[in-house]
Amino acid sequence: MNITDKLKRFRRGPAVISPKDIGLIITLTGINKDSKVLDAGTGTGFLAAYLANICKEVITYENRKEFYDIAKFNLKDFKNIKLRYKDVYNGFKEKNLDLITLDLKEPWKVLKYAEKSLKKEGFLFCYLPTINQVELLLKETGKFRLIKLTELIEREWETDNRLRPKSQIIGHTGFLMFFRKS
Amino acid sequence: MNITDKLKRFRRGPAVISPKDIGLIITLTGINKDSKVLDAGTGTGFLAAYLANICKEVITYENRKEFYDIAKFNLKDFKNIKLRYKDVYNGFKEKNLDLITLDLKEPWKVLKYAEKSLKKEGFLFCYLPTINQVELLLKETGKFRLIKLTELIEREWETDNRLRPKSQIIGHTGFLMFFRKS
Amino acid sequence: MNITDKLKRFRRGPAVISPKDIGLIITLTGINKDSKVLDAGTGTGFLAAYLANICKEVITYENRKEFYDIAKFNLKDFKNIKLRYKDVYNGFKEKNLDLITLDLKEPWKVLKYAEKSLKKEGFLFCYLPTINQVELLLKETGKFRLIKLTELIEREWETDNRLRPKSQIIGHTGFLMFFRKS
Amino acid sequence: MNITDKLKRFRRGPAVISPKDIGLIITLTGINKDSKVLDAGTGTGFLAAYLANICKEVITYENRKEFYDIAKFNLKDFKNIKLRYKDVYNGFKEKNLDLITLDLKEPWKVLKYAEKSLKKEGFLFCYLPTINQVELLLKETGKFRLIKLTELIEREWETDNRLRPKSQIIGHTGFLMFFRKS
């Protein structure tokens, strides 16, 4: 079954990163079937599922029991995902990663672990709903160099009777920060 | 080498589909390492290269000699791309495709071939710079059902001294139309 | 009382042109206390009230009884507004106008009257929700030259706890077309 | 002569606030022919000229000699503008103002003067290119209550051959902050 059809059956939980934003993660980091990715926090597993559809292996961390349970259900058929019930702020020991994706309140707390776990020139992606988080992260980037701070605004059109952009849209999902390990 | 680094060495030619738009193609169609994709026209090969990074096989058509030559150079190291010097308006015979991506002036001319070449529930993507093309395509969709007509606006931020969105941005690349074969 | 406070007491009716769009009408046409403006259709009178706040005289036409009644109530204290219960498609005879604002389904039907009623170099503004209307109007502009076809997207920010753009926004109000009489 | 035609003859200088943003100032504050407005800094006088076109009186402050000279030239025919060569950070004594517009690096420095000069329920507008300025201003609003923090993105369309949004646009001018005196 196509991943997009599988995702429609996912149990709902915390807000997910939207396909437009996941798409940019994929193209700007160039991940592919040889890539090993670490993802935290898992949430419903929406991002982990998309990454697993493309990559060799995805390790994903979630420390809230209610989200972990949702993710466990949603990701049970994804053979190349390792779901871990752990607090990523306490560190992780994976090595030789191509990409780390962080959808966390305080991503700066794991930069020291991210540095050790990523390959040289590996990518770090942070998803940040508020500009305050962006500012705090910019102050503590360590050995990471910022590739891009950006946002994507999706403007869907109606085609039913007349052709026009939709009135009600999502004007903001999150700020997208892409880093590369020097 | 990471695909994003490879792409920086590509010879320039006609305008390419941007990473934000390619990203949405990948996430909305759910292509992966088992997918077989047909792409036309090739242009510089930028989209074909991105697709090949993720898919099993990409067949790409270009009928303009100057673009074909650029693409041939750019795509020479991509083992899973078949570059064809042919006019896609004259048809194609590939079967069992998961996705067809059309960056053509008159995509409606190939819908009849696309229908035969795609799997059931396979995806058709059309990239259309003008709204006039969107209107013409909406009139001739045949057995395809429209999943989404949308645009992505990227808003990059400057971080050098002060934090602010960039003044000069690309306000429009193309309208993105996603169809699925019924 | 400030006009913005008055407008909060207006009876609701059909959708109004938003302050961002009315603002651009004011700045791009340069109307002021010497200006005479014709407005159709009136709707709730929201645009007419804003124009009257700045201009010498506003004549506004509405042919639907239910909207006319709402407008009559809303505009009763505006001494420089003449509200007319008439179908503007049947023509109008005002002369020497500085600006005509049309929020109509088929504005092309009144261009011949608009031409006669406007001053030389006077402005015509059309508010068009769909791109189909834009296309039809572009085909029949007569002696008007297009100054600008544009849209404004408002992106409001939340400041309550954290600083971030609002999630739910209005992604489209209408296409704004500004013409000038040659 | 129409103000928009006059403005085309203005001498160029520092960046001006754009018509879309000036339009929103006009509609959200409801200024009209009875309004008295203070504006700082003047820059080329572009905003002051627009305000003067609508209001009774505009007092505008500029402390940089090169900008003051440009503004003096540009505003010489505007009878209801008082241009002052003074540093607004040192205070001002106007009373009973309807609106104060601040296009300054550090607008928080003049809030104490603004409070005394505005009428009850008068409006304060601040134009801020960076989000850092927005944050600093949010911390020191005193007796002002925030009405709105917003941005306007203008998306102009091309109509020459085909109908499409322009490729190159201005993605950001400034953050617009509207306050009202309690």
- Residue-wise pLDDT tens digits, C122-143: 999 999 999 999 999 999 998 9
Q: Chain A to chain B, count of Cβ pairs less than 8 Å apart?
A: 119
**B120 to chain D, minimum CA–CA distance in Å?**
33
Q: Helices B46-54 and B65-74: crossing angle, nearest 10°?
A: 40
Q: How confident is the model at residue C66 (pLDDT cuts 50, 70, 90)?
A: very high
Nearest CA in chain B to A153: B153
Q: What is the mean pLDDT of residues A87-91?
A: 97
Closest CA to A101 of A156, A158, A164, A31: A31
**A157 to chain B, minimum CA–CA distance in Å?**
6
**C60 to chain D, minimum CA–CA distance in Å?**
19
C9 interfaces chain A, CB cutoff of 8 Å: no
- Closest CB to B131: pick one of D129, D155, D164: D164
D79 interfaces chain B, CB cutoff of 8 Å: no
Residues 6+ apart with CB under 8 A from C1: none
Q: How far, CA to CA in Å, does D95 sit from each of A169, B150, C119, D71, D128?
A: 43, 51, 39, 24, 25
Chain A residues closer than 8 Å to B152 by CB: 20, 152-155
Closest CA to B119 of B58, B59, B182: B182
Phi, psi of D87 (to 5 degrees): -90, 115
DSSP characters over D85-141: ES-GGG-----SEEEEEE--S-GGGGHHHHHHHEEEEEEEEEEESSHHHHHHHHTT-
Paired strand residues for A180: A123, A145
pLDDT at A161: 78
pLDDT at A42: 98
What number of other Cβ atoms are within 10 A of residue C182's Cβ?
10
Q: Which of residues 98-157 of C touch B (CB under 8 A)?
A: 131-132, 135
pLDDT at B149: 98
- Closest CB to B27: pick one of A5, A50, A156: A50
Q: How far, CA to CA in Å, does C42 sit from each of C60, C96, D63?
A: 6, 20, 45
Q: Please give the distance of CA C110 from its chain centroid, rounded to a whole number.
A: 15
Q: How confident is the model at residue D11 (pLDDT cuts 50, 70, 90)?
A: very high
pLDDT at A142: 87
pLDDT at A158: 97
Q: What is the mean pLDDT of residues C144-173?
A: 96
- Residue-wise pLDDT tens digits, A13-70: 999 999 999 999 999 999 999 999 999 999 999 999 999 999 999 999 999 999 999 9
**Percentage, residues of chain D above pLDDT 70:** 100
The Cβ-side half-sphere exposure at A117, using a 13 Å CA radius, reads: 21
Task: Determine, for residues B131 and D167 on separate chains, whether the beta-carbon distance falls below 8 Å.
Answer: no
Average pLDDT by stretches of 10, chain B with 182 residues? 95 96 98 98 98 98 98 97 98 98 98 97 98 96 95 97 95 98 93
For the cut 90, the answer to whether the pLDDT of residue C159 exceeds it is yes
Chain A residues closer than 8 Å to C15 by CB: none
pLDDT at A2: 94
Phi, psi of C160 (to 5 degrees): -55, -65
Q: What is the mean pLDDT of residues A118-132?
A: 97
Task: Determine, for residues C30 and D54 on separate chains, whether the beta-carbon distance falls below 8 Å.
Answer: no
Q: How confident is the model at residue A145 (pLDDT cuts 50, 70, 90)?
A: very high
- Residue-wise pLDDT tens digits, D21-46: 999 999 999 999 999 999 999 999 99
Q: What is the mean pLDDT of residues A73-100?
A: 98
In the three-class reduction of DSSP (H, G, I as helix; E, B as strand; rest coil), residue C101 is classed as: strand
First to last CA, chain A: 39
Q: How confident is the model at residue C30 (pLDDT cuts 50, 70, 90)?
A: very high
Closest CA to D22 of A155, C101, B159, C27: C27
C26 interfaces chain D, CB cutoff of 8 Å: yes
For the cut 90, the answer to whether the pLDDT of residue D142 exceeds it is no
C1 interfaces chain A, CB cutoff of 8 Å: no
pTM for this predicted structure: 0.97
Give the residue from C2, C10, C172 with the most D CB atoms within 10 Å of its CB, the best one to mutate. Answer: C2
Dump strand ranges (E) for B10-143: 36-40, 57-62, 81-85, 97-102, 118-128
